[in-house]
Structure 1
Amino acid sequence: MTTAVRPLQGTLPQNAQSTARPSRRAILTGAAIGIGAIGLGSAITTALAEAARPDPVRSVTAAFTSSGRREALDAESAQSLPAQSRVLPNLADPGPARRQQEFLAACEPWLRELPVQRRDLAISALLDLWVLSDELPATVAGWAGPWRYVWPRDTAFSAIALARIGRPDLAWSQLLFLQSVQAVDGSFAARVDPTTGMAPDDRESQFDSLGLVLWAISEVHAVSEASAAPFDLGELDDLLRRTSRRIFDLTAYGRSLPPVGPDYWEVGESRVSLGLAGPTLVGMNSLTALTRANPELWSRLGGDPESVRRAADDYRATFTRTFVANGMQRYPTAGGPDSAIAYLPAAGLVPNAVDAIYALEPELLGGVWDRLEQPAGGIKPGHGWIIDRSSWTPSTSLMGLGFARLGQTEKAESILDWLSAHRTSAGSLPEKITAEGAPVSVAPLSWTAANVIITLDELYVRRRGAGS
C-alpha cells in the first residue's frame, strides 16, 4: 500500500532497483513469477528468506527532541517521552510544546464528543498526525527517512481528518500545497519532498491520487461551508480543473477504465487494478457532489454540470461491467480480494447515500476481510500478498472506516480495539503488526492515524449528529 511497500524501494539507491536479484517487494506481491529472464537460482531463495523475515522496528514514534529537531525514536529513546505527547520534556525551545498544546486544545470540542474509552486512542492518532504535519506544508507519511515525503494519496486522508476534528484551515492549506506541486497535465508525482515540492525519484505517477484528492476537496469544502468562516472554493480552481480534466481525458469521459499503473501497492502492473479504478469512482462521485453544492463551479472551470453527470454515469457503467460483474477482485476479472474495495464505502459510496454513483453492498466488505485476515488479527493488503503474514494497519484501518460508514458498527469498533491494542510502546500507530502481534516497521504512520480519526468521527460524531 502507499505506506506498506514504499520503504522497500526507498531504502535502496535508485540504480539498485534494476539489479538481477528480485526485490522483497516483488516477492511479497508474487511478482517474481514472470522474471525468469533474469537468472533466478539462489537469488530467489535469498529473496524468499528475506520476505519471510519481519521488518525491523525502524521507529516507535516521532517527537521533538533536545536537538531542537523532530526525530524518529527507537524504543529506548522514547522511554523519556511523556504520555500523550510527541515532545520530549525540558526542550530549550518552547515552541513545539506550545504548538502541541494549542493543537490539542483546538481538538478538545471534538474529543468531548467521543466516549471516554476512545479518547486515549483518539489522542494518539491526533498526536501522530500533528507530529507529521507540524509546521510542514502538508503531512508526510512518516518520519523515518524513506517515509519522510508527501504522498498525495495519504494527504487526501489527512486533510479530511483535519477538517473533521475542527481544523478545516489546516486541511485547506494541505490542499493548496497539492495544488502547488501538481503538474500542468494534472498528474502528481508519486511523492514529493515537503520542503522543495520536488519528487525525490522517478517513480511513476499514481492515478489513484486524482480521485482521492477530489474526494478530499469535496469533504473539506463541505466542512468549511458549515463553519463560521467558509473558504472560497475558487482558491482551488486550478487543482479542480487539472485533476478533473485528467480523469475525464484518461477515462474517455467515463467510458473506459483508468490507464494501467501502480496503485497503493506501489508495484508495476500489467492490468488496471481496483486500487486505481475504485478511487476514480470516488473522484467521479465527488465531482457530482461538488457540482450539486456549487452550481457555478463549472462555469469557472470551462465545462458544464451535465458533462460531469454524464461522465459519472458512464464510469459507473464501466466499473459495473468490469469490476462489479466479476466479484470486485483486484483486477477486472481476476486477482482475488483486495482491501482497495474499502475505498468505496470509506468515501461514502454506500446504500441510500444521496451522492453515491455506485453503492457497495455491506456483505462484500465482510467477505474480503475474512479472506485477508492475518494471524495477529488485522489484514494484509490483498490476496496477492502471498508470503508476508503481517497485518498492515493502513488496509486494516481503511476497512474499519468502510465498516463504520456502512453502519456495521460492531465490526468497526472491533477494528478500533485491535488498533488501540497494537500501538507501539510510545503509543503511536505503526505500519505493520507481525504474525505474533508485535508492532514493526515505522511509527507513526499518517494514513493509519487519519483513518482512525475519520472512523471515530463517523461512529461517534457524525452518526450522533444525524440522530442515528
Structure 2
Amino acid sequence: MTEDVPGGANRRTLMTGSLAALALGATTTGGVGLYRTRHEVPATYGLTVAMRSEHGPWRGTRQLVDREHLEQVLPGSRVLAGPEQEPLLEAQEEWLSGLTLPGSAGALSDLARAAALDLWVLSAGLPLAVAGWSPMWRHAWPRDTAHVAVALHRLGDAKGATRQLASLAERVGRAPRIQARYALDGGTPDHRPPQDDGFGWVLWAAGSTVDSWRGTAEAGRIEALVRHCAATALTRLDGDGLPRVSPDYWELEERQLTLGTAAPLLAGLEQAATLAGGELAERCAAAATRMDAQVHATFGRRGWPRRIGGGASDTAIAWLLPPYRTAPPHETELRAALDEAARQMSRPNGGYAPGGDWREDGVAWTPETAVLAGAWATADATRERAVETLAWLEDHRTEAGSLPEKVRDDGSPAGPAPLAWTAAVALTASLDVAR
C-alpha cells in the first residue's frame, strides 16, 4: 500500500531501492542516525480512530485521534466521550460479544481484542472497511477487503464478512480489470493502474468465507463476482500459464512478473476451482495446476525472489502457503524460502520490511510482519515464532492501543493507525496460533 505525495506520484516510487552505502552504514555504529539523515522519517497520522456518531454523512461518524485528544476516547474502546457514547458503546460491546476471540488472558488476547476494535471502527456502518481513516487511506483496497472479510468470517461475524464481498461485487461489476482501490462513494479516488492480484484476492476471500455467504440473500451477487473474477483472471494469463505483468501490493510499475501478482492469483484460482462450477471450475483447476508448476520452475529455480528475473525475496512467498492455500506442493521448500525471506526482510527494531531489497531506513511495516506471523502460525514447527512476532505487534501498538501501519527505527508508531489490513491479518494469525 502506498502513501500519496504531491503530484500524483507515490512515496514508494520515490524512495524504493537499496543504496549499498546506506545499507552498510546502517549496520555500523551510528546506523540509526544515518537512517534518519538519509531518509524521511515517516509521519504519524493519529493514534487511533474513534466513533462519535451513528448518524449523518459517513465521513462525520468518526474522527482521527491524536495525543492531544486521547483522553476523549473512552477507556478500552474506540468511542469518543459525548452525547452518543452510550449507544455506540453498546453497539461495540454487542459486536465483540458475538465474536470468537482467541485466548482468555495475556498478550495474545489483548492483541486480538485491540485488532477487533480496530476492524470495528474502520467498518461499522460502512459498506466496505476502509484501509484507514486518514483521508489518503479512507478508501477500500480489494486486498484489504479480502483480508477483512476472511477475518470477520473466522471471528464468527458472517454478516460482516458477507457485506464486504457483496459491496465489493457492486463496485467491481463486470469491469475487465480490478482497480487498485475504490472510493466508498463510488468510482476510484485517483488514476492508479489496475492490479491483477485483485482477482486472486477476491476469489481467495470468497472461497475462504463461503460458509458465511452461501444461502444468504447476497449469495447470487457474490457468486456472480466469483464467476466474473475467475473468467477474467484466466484471460490475464499468458501462453506459458503465468500471469501477465501487473502492479501488485507494492503499487509500482513493474517490468517483470512479481510473486506478489502470481501468488494471490494462484490461491484465487484454486478457490475458484471449487466455487465456479461447471466448465469454468475445470478451467480454473487446470490453470492453477499449470501455474503452480510454472511458478516453481521459474521463481523457485531462482530461490523464490520477488521478481521472476531474480533478486531479493519479499512477503509474497507467504501467500503460497496456508492460510492462503491448503497443503501446497513443495511446502517444505516454501517454508524454508519463507524463513530466508524473513531473514532478508528483518529490521533492527524487530519487525519486517515488505521485501529484502526494501530501502534501508530501519522502518518495519506491520501488515507484512503480520503476514509472516500468519504463515508461521499454520505450522507446528514455527508456531512459537508466530507467537513472538504477534507479541512484537502487541508491544508496538500506539498509546491508544491501535495497530499502526509502520514502526520507526526507534520503535515508535508511524503511518495511519489503525490499519485494517494489519488488524485483519493479526486476528487470523492469532486464531491459528490458538487452535
Cα distance between partner residues in 2 of 1:348 and 1:267: 23
| Residue 425 of structure 2 corresponds to residue 446 of structure 1 | no
Alignment of 1:361-400 (within 5 A): 361-400=334-373
| Residue 316 of structure 2 corresponds to residue 327 of structure 1 | no
Letter in 2 for 1:311: A
Deviation at 1:186, TM superposition (A): 4.0
Which residue, out of 264, 273, 283, partners 2:249?
264
Match of 1:197 in 2: 186
Cα distance between partner residues in 2 of 1:357 and 1:198: 39
Cα distance between partner residues in 1 of 2:18 and 2:265: 25
Partner deviation per Cα, 1:303-349 (whole Å, 9 max, x = no partner) = 34432322121111221211112111011131311111112224343
Letter in 1 for 2:313: P
Deviation at 1:441, TM superposition (A): 1.4
Which residue, out of 88, 108, 111, partners 2:80?
88
| Residue 296 of structure 2 corresponds to residue 311 of structure 1 | no
Which residue, out of 43, 50, 71, partners 1:63?
50
Cα distance between partner residues in 1 of 2:405 and 2:200: 24
Letter in 1 for 2:283: S
Cα distance between partner residues in 2 of 1:308 and 1:442: 37
Over 3 Å counting, the alpha-carbon distance change for 1:241 and 1:219 in structure 2 is same
Percent of residue pairs identical: 33
Which residue, out of 222, 245, 248, partners 1:236?
222
Over 3 Å counting, the alpha-carbon distance change for 1:436 and 1:93 in structure 2 is closer
Over 3 Å counting, the alpha-carbon distance change for 1:51 and 1:166 in structure 2 is farther
| Residue 433 of structure 2 corresponds to residue 433 of structure 1 | no
Alignment of 1:38-437 (within 5 A): 52-65=39-52, 69-92=61-84, 94-107=86-99, 110-111=100-101, 113-117=102-106, 118-194=108-184, 196-222=185-211, 233-252=219-238, 255-288=240-273, 290-291=274-275, 297-299=276-278, 303-349=279-325, 353=327, 356=328, 359=331, 361-407=334-380, 408-437=382-411
Local SS of the residue matching 1:137? coil
Deviation at 1:97, TM superposition (A): 2.4
Q: Is the 8 A contact 1:138 1:174 kept in 2?
A: yes
Deviation at 1:189, TM superposition (A): 1.6
Deviation at 1:255, TM superposition (A): 3.5
Cα distance between partner residues in 1 of 2:189 and 2:143: 16
- TM-score, normalization: structure 1? 0.82
Local SS of the residue matching 2:416? coil
Cα distance between partner residues in 2 of 1:53 and 1:191: 26
Over 3 Å counting, the alpha-carbon distance change for 1:83 and 1:93 in structure 2 is closer
Deviation at 1:172, TM superposition (A): 0.7
| Residue 21 of structure 2 corresponds to residue 30 of structure 1 | no
- TM-score, normalization: structure 2? 0.88
Letter in 2 for 1:53: E
Letter in 2 for 1:434: R
Match of 1:44 in 2: none
Local SS of the residue matching 2:98? helix
Cα distance between partner residues in 2 of 1:55 and 1:304: 46
Q: Is the 8 A contact 2:63 2:133 kept in 1?
A: yes
Q: Is the 8 A contact 2:351 2:365 kept in 1?
A: yes
Farther-moved stretch of structure 1 (380-389 vs 408-417): 380-389
Cα distance between partner residues in 1 of 2:218 and 2:74: 40
Over 3 Å counting, the alpha-carbon distance change for 1:308 and 1:94 in structure 2 is same
Q: Is the 8 A contact 2:245 2:255 kept in 1?
A: yes
Over 3 Å counting, the alpha-carbon distance change for 1:189 and 1:307 in structure 2 is closer
Q: Is the 8 A contact 1:255 1:311 kept in 2?
A: no
Match of 1:41 in 2: none
